[in-house]
Structure 1
Amino acid sequence: MSLLDFARGPALNWAMAIFVLGVLWRLGALLMLPRMRDRSAPRPGAPGALKGGLGALVRHMWVPKDFGLTSRFSLINGYIFHLGLAVIVFGFAQHILVIEGLFGLSWPGLPTSIITAASFVTLASLIAALVRRTTSPVLRTISTLNDYFTWLITFLPVLTGLLAVSHLGARYETLLAIHLLSIAALLIWFPFGKLMHAFLVFITRTQTGAFYGRRGVKI
C-alpha cells in the first residue's frame, strides 16, 4: 500500500469515524449533564430563555464599542480565516467531489484563482492570529499547548493543500498524501481540542445568555 492509498483509505476512514464519534460523545456528555431547575423569580421585563439566548448569540458576533482596537482586530481576523476556510472547503471543485461521494450533495465550484487567493489570505490571517497570541502578554499567559497545537493542525491542511495544487516541493502524489494526512489529523483532533468550539459555542453562549437574561443582565 502506497502512502497515498493509506492516506485516502484507512487514514481518512478512521479519522472520520473518530471525528463523528468524538463529536457525538462531547455533545452527549454536555447535554446529559444534570441540571438544577432555576427557581429564582425572573426580573421584571426579562426576556424568555430563547430570546435571551439568541440575543446573546447575536450580540457576541461583534465587539462592543467600549472595547479597544485589539479586540476588534481579533474578531475581524477571526471572521477572515473562518470565511477563508469555508471558501476553501466548500468552494474547491475537488472538495465538492469528496462531499458528493460522502453525502450525495453537489454544487458548482469556484475558479481555482479564487481558491488560491482565499488560501493565501487564510494563511496570512492564521499567521496574524499566531503573532497576536505570542506578542500579547495576556494571551501569551493564558495560552496552552492546546491553543498552539490547534493552530498548527488548522494551518497545515491549508498549507499542504496549496502546495499540492501548486505542485511545489515534491511529486503531486506525495503532496496529496501529506495533505490528506493533515486533514485526517485535524479530524481526529477536532473533538478533543479547541476546534470543538465550532459546535459548543452555540450551546454555551445561548445558555449563558438565557441565564443572565433572566436576571436582566445583557452580556
Structure 2
Amino acid sequence: MSLLDFARGPALDFAMAVFLLGVFWRLFAIVLLPWAKDRTVKRAGAPSAAAGALGTLIRHLWVPKDFGLTSRFTLINGYVFHIGLAVIVFGFTQHILFIDGVFGLSWPGLPTGVITVAGVVTLASLIAALVRRMTSPVLRLISTFNDWFTWAITFLPVLTGLLAVAHLGARYETLLAIHMLSVAALLIWFPFGKLMHAFLVFLTRGESGAFYSRRGVKI
C-alpha cells in the first residue's frame, strides 16, 4: 500500500469515524447534562429565553464601540480566516467530490484561481493571528498547548493543500498524501480541541444569553 492509498483509505476513514463520533459524543454529553431549574423571578419586560439567546449571538457578531482597535482587528481577522477556510473546504471541486462521496451532497465548485487566492489570504490571516498571540503579553500568558496545537493543525492542511495544487516541493502524489494526512489529523483533533467551538459557540453563547436576559441583562 502506497502512502497515498493509506492516506485516502484507512487514515481518512479512521479520522472521519473519530470526528463524527467525537462531535456527537461532545454535543450529546452537553445536551444531556442535568439542568437546574431557574427559580429566580423573571424581570418585568425581559425577553423570552429564545430571544435572549438569539440577541446575544447577534450582538457578538461585532465588538462594542467602546472596545479598541486591537479587539476589532482580532474579530475581523477571525472572520477572514473562518470565511477563507469555508471557501476552501466547500468551494474546491475536489473537496466537493469528497463530500459527495461521503454524504451524497454536491454543488458547483469555484475556479481554482479563486480557491488559491482564498488559501493564500487564509494562510496570511492565520499567521497574523499567531503573531498577535505571540506578541501580546496577555494572550501569550493564557495560551496553552491547546491553542498552539490547534493553530498548527489548522494551518497545515491549508499550506499542504496549496503546495499540492501548485506542485511545489515534491511529487504531486506525495504532496496530496501529506495533505490528506494533515486533514485526517485535523479531523481527529477536532472534537477534543478548541476547533470544537465551531459547534459549541452556539450552545454556550445562547445559554448565556437566555440566562442573563431573564434578569434583564444584555451581554
TM-score interval w.r.t. the shorter chain?
A: over 0.9
The answer to whether 1:191 aligns with 2:185 is no
Amino acid at match of 1:203: L
Q: Deviations over 1:22-52 (max 9, x none)?
A: 0111111111111110011011111110000
Cα deviation 1:161-188 (Å, max 9, x = unaligned): 0000000000000000000000000000
What are the within-5 Å matches in structure 2 for residues 46-195 of structure 1?
46-195=46-195
TM-score, with length taken from structure 1: 0.99
* Alpha-carbon separation, structure 1, partners of 2:147 and 2:40: 37
Q: Which stretches of structure 1, 4 residues or more, deviate above 2 A after TM superposition? A: none
CA RMSD of aligned residues (A): 0.5
Identical residues among aligned pairs (%) = 78
Which stretches in structure 1 are left out of the alignment for 5+ residues?
none
Number of equivalences: 219
Q: Which amino acid aligns with 1:18?
A: V
Aligned mates of 2:108, 2:205 — CA distance in 1: 34
What amino acid maps onto 1:3 in structure 2?
Answer: L
Structure 2 counterpart of 1:34 = 34
Name the CA distance, whole Å, in 1 between partners of 2:25 and 2:97.
28
> Is there any run of 5+ residues in structure 2 with no aligned partner, and where?
none
Amino acid at match of 2:16: M
